[in-house]
Amino acid sequence: MQRNQVLFLVKFFVILLAAYLLIAWNPVNDRVIVPFTEGIARVSGAVLNFIGQDVTVNGTVIASARFGVNINNGCNGVEAMLILLASIVAFPASMKARALGLLLGAIAVQLLNLVRIVSLYLLGAYQPRLFDTFHTAVWQIIIILAAIGFFLIWSARVAPSRVASRA
Amino acid sequence: MPRVEWRVALRALAGFAVGLALWVFLSPQYDRVIAAGAEKVLRAFEDPPVTRLRPAADRFVTVDREDFDPRSKRPAIPVHDLTFNVILLTALFAASKRPFSDRNISGFLLAALLLSVTHVFGMVAEVMSIYVAKLGMWSRVNYGDFSRNFWGVANHFYRLVLMYAIAFMLWWIFRDRGIEAPAPAKKKKKR
């Protein structure tokens, strides 16, 4: 493995750990992550009501007479955003390219996460036996794969000669 | 706009399906192996060695200790929650342009082997997080604040992001290099 790849992995891990510790810190979790997750619940609830599900949103809980979901850490897309953040910041690129990558990547992850929450609610309401597998593994992996895929596309664009051929 | 290579995406999807099938159908046997490995690690650091991890129904493992009151309820761990990152690893290796090349296959096998070692440590962190914080007075008597914070953070970090990061890093190290990233879109020449 080349030195620049080792350096990328070391930076990736250090940034990931630092970012995790930051969001796991109670003041940040309570003042940033929880309100952010409540926002996700409101948007998801609005989409579900738009398609006729008649749900109510209370904090991070989306519920109806048929089914209810509580959006916790791990289901709010933040985990994928952390992977995206660590990989993009660890990768050699200009600040502008990184900022643009982070912005577009975060939007993409959150749009996909919206689809995840809506589909999980619908699965729980209408196909409950599939809910666990999709909740635990399927959607979680799709979201992370999307974040990694976005990073690979972004990295190939910002440093095609350095990375796509050598990294 | 970034160009998506649909053949790469389709290969990743196929790898995802294979990984999901492996995870669903092999988990009962695999969970036993991971539980046995985690039990060995835990007992190696106990004096006297008392932890027993017993496979239970619905892909759970029951945490038992020989020094627990026989009448008390035993905590249980959903092992499949700790191991599904194998699906991510399979999808990433399958996305290679030459998924069946010797290099890609051997890289995948080596990465999968190392991933299984991390599953053992993921389970150790899970059991320790139960010991240090979830057994009421017994936890408070036997473990201090440092242990509680360390194992609590280790377990949460593993579950929230580290399990995915490990799969990504193993793929990054052992992949068939230089072929997985889509080529950048060529700029049109000005006439």
pLDDT band at B191; cut points 50, 70, 90: very low
Average pLDDT over residues B121-126: 96
Out of A13, A86, A164, whose CB is closest to B181?
Answer: A164
The closest alpha carbon to B171, from B100, B98, B86, belongs to: B86
Helix extents (H) in chain B: 6-44, 80-83, 85-94, 102-133, 137-142, 145-157, 163-174
pLDDT band at B68; cut points 50, 70, 90: confident
Which chain B residues have a beta carbon less than 8 Å from that of A83? 161, 164-165, 168
- Across A58-72, A94-108, A140-154, B61-75, least confident range: B61-75
Average pLDDT over residues A137-163: 86
Contact B181/A149, CB-based, under 8 Å?
A: no
The answer, for A103 touching chain B at a CB cutoff of 8 Å, is no
Report the pLDDT value the prediction gives residue A133, as an integer from 0 to 100. Answer: 87
Contact B165/A138, CB-based, under 8 Å?
A: no
Report the pLDDT value the prediction gives residue B72, as an integer from 0 to 100. Answer: 83
Report the pLDDT value the prediction gives residue B3, as an integer from 0 to 100. Answer: 59
Helix or strand holding residue A63 (H, E): strand A61-63
Report the pLDDT value the prediction gives residue A167, as an integer from 0 to 100. Answer: 45
pLDDT band at B77; cut points 50, 70, 90: very high
Chain B: give the shortest CA distance to residue A29, in Å: 13
ipTM rounded to 2 decimals: 0.90
Contact in structure between A105 and A84 (CB atoms under 8 Å): yes
pLDDT band at B183; cut points 50, 70, 90: very low
Supply the mean pLDDT for chain B: 88
Q: What percent of chain A has pLDDT over 70?
A: 95
Report the pLDDT value the prediction gives residue A72, as an integer from 0 to 100. Answer: 87
Q: Enter the pTM of the model.
A: 0.89
pLDDT band at A166; cut points 50, 70, 90: very low
The answer, for A163 touching chain B at a CB cutoff of 8 Å, is yes
Contact in structure between A116 and B60 (CB atoms under 8 Å): no
Q: Look at residue A135 and tell me whether its pLDDT is greater than 70.
A: yes
Average pLDDT over residues A42-47: 96
Q: Look at residue B178 and tell me whether its pLDDT is greater than 80.
A: no
